[in-house]
Structure 1
């Protein structure tokens, strides 16, 4: 039973490590689900404009050309 204390300390250390590095968890930004969804949609639209040069507007032009 001399190792009992070491095991307990290791369990506490592992628990602290797991709590600090939650997998896939976001920090609480104080937004409701709808507000977060709107914010994320705006961010994605900006990324699409930068990457594709226009996003959805570009796809409409391709469909009209057919």
Structure 2
């Protein structure tokens, strides 16, 4: 198992633990209908194949850190 696979496994376990302990406020399921009004922990972003774009509260990309 690679280091990245180990980290991904740890991230998944943490997300599951948070959802188990705080299921009324936290979710790690990717299905959008389950995420409404909850904090979504996207554990799967710990992958070399994934890229992430920071989004603001309104769903618009943040200006800081972006080049024009």
TM-score (norm 1): 0.38
**Structure whose residues are more often helix by fraction:** 1
Query: Which of the pair has more CA radius of gyration?
Result: 1
TM-score (norm 2): 0.37
